[in-house]
Amino acid sequence: MSLRGTTFLESVLQTLKRAIELGGYPQEAYEMLSRPQRIVTVNIPVKMDNGKIQIFTGYRVQHNNALGPYKGGIRFHPEVTLEEDIALATVMTFKNSLNGLPYGGGKGAIAVDYKKLSKRELEELSRGYARALAPFIGPEVDIPAPDVGTDPQIMAWMVDEYSKMTGHNVPGVFTAKPVILWGNPVREYSTGFGVAVWAREAAKKLWGGIEGKTVAIQGFGNVGYWGAYWLEKMGAKVVAITDSRGGVYNPSGLKLAEVKAVKDKTSTVMNYESSGTRKVTNDEVLELPVDILVPAALENVIHKGNANNIKAKLIVEGANGPTTADAEKVLHTKGVWILPDLAANAGGVVMSYLEWVEDLQWYFWDEEETRNRLERILLDTFNRVMNRWNKLGMSQVTIREAAYVEAVDRIYNAMKVRGWI
């Protein structure tokens, strides 16, 4: 076994099993929720710019729909695997349940390095994926959204392709679309906003407030940037930021707007320079002496090999599955609060739900009203998770386990009244 220990899927299933035991649910609940209901595999031919045909393999994992249509993102990444997609879809089931959404969980992926594709090739691949999945998705069946490597433009191509196949506009089949195509401006920053809201609320309980607390962020994509933006607006001090190449650290605080400008101009935050700022690696940023750590890149970055070196008191999971089960045990023993992905980074899917509601009724809220609706749902989830954690015994269980019990309870009762169990 490597230093990183258990795989992402193994970690998810371990937590599920623990939640089943803590909640007193029957073994049948674990059997139902430990495997997906359906796995769709598609092979998509794309005519490349050199005239040759290349076949790309994609997946759509539909995990559980007891609470409603499957819901989850689509990932374009060269290292995606079916096992990873199953884990992500499983987490989406619990994330949607935990946040009170009328959704089950799903996740999609294509094994591709999208950065190596031309815009035309990327569009053809996106449309081909939508065509291949058309019989298995729909606004009342399965509603995809962006994830790593995908964005609103790709959603626009996909919703257009699906609409062409049905013969009419179907805005509710994909979410996180461009605003001009029935999207909502809050969606761009909703996941990062949710990370900040959860960090702020936890900081109130830990320290009485977030003002002046130092933050290190691993990952400076959409979630990392907007998480930093809202944390800074809430009064926290962002002292370290990294992207895929590495990053920078200044204990006195970074000027976020300047860091973002350097990233936009040179493609990496590593080129940012200021007095007192030094370069750090993606491994080093996790171990800096900060109050709050936000892993907002990929999964399994916090593992048993580095858990003892982490100094932050509060970890807010902006990424999906950044902490392994082995590491979580170590950190919980140290008294570290870990706000789990299915709660802390749920702002995106909650906003997708609000966008879907808008699309179904062809009626759209303004940005401020939308953000207020989003924040109310996030605060409700935070309070329910904290109450559940308190009831289960804060020293005995992790926040993730409490969140899973809260999520499983709703799914279990839905399956029970349906007659599935």
The β-bridge relationship of strands 337-339 and 314-316 is parallel
State the burial class of residue 376 (Cβ atoms within 10 Å of its Cβ: 0-12, 13-18, 19+): exposed
What element of type H or E holds 338?
A: strand 337-339
Catalytic residue among 17, 47, 95, 107: 107
125: nearest Cα among 56, 208, 215? 56
Non-local (6+) Cβ contacts of 403 within 8 A are: 94, 98, 340, 342, 343, 385, 388
The kind and range of the H/E element at 266 are: helix 256-266
Class of domain 38-185: alpha beta
Q: What is the pTM of this model?
A: 0.93
Give the neighbor-by-neighbor strand order of the sheet with 53-64. Answer: 38-47, 53-64, 104-111, 70-77, 142-146
* Helix (H) / strand (E) containing 115: none
298 in Cβ contact with 81 (< 8 Å): no
User: So what's the architecture of 190-344 in CATH?
Assistant: 3-Layer(aba) Sandwich (3.40)
Domain positions in the chain are 38-185, 190-344
CB 214 within 8 A of CB 291: yes
Lookup result for tokens 């691993």: 218
**Nearest Cα residue to 74 out of 150, 169, 184, 179:** 150
99 vs 35: CA distance, rounded Å: 21
- Tens place of pLDDT for every residue, the chain, 421 residues? 344 456 889 988 988 999 999 999 999 999 999 999 999 999 999 999 999 999 999 999 999 999 999 999 999 999 999 999 999 999 999 999 999 999 999 999 999 999 999 999 999 999 999 999 999 999 999 999 998 899 999 999 999 999 999 999 999 999 999 999 999 999 999 999 999 999 999 999 999 999 999 999 999 999 999 999 999 999 999 999 999 999 999 999 999 999 999 999 999 999 999 999 999 999 999 999 999 999 999 888 999 999 999 999 999 999 988 998 889 999 999 999 999 999 999 999 999 999 999 999 999 999 999 999 999 999 999 999 999 999 999 999 999 999 999 999 999 999 999 999 9
Active site residue 107: yes
**b/e per residue 341-371 (b: at least 16 CB within 10 A):** bbbbbbbbbbbbbbbbebbeeeebbeeeebb
Beta-sheet strand order (sheet of 337-339): 278-280, 246-249, 237-243, 214-218, 292-295, 314-316, 337-339
Fold identical between 38-185 and 190-344?
yes
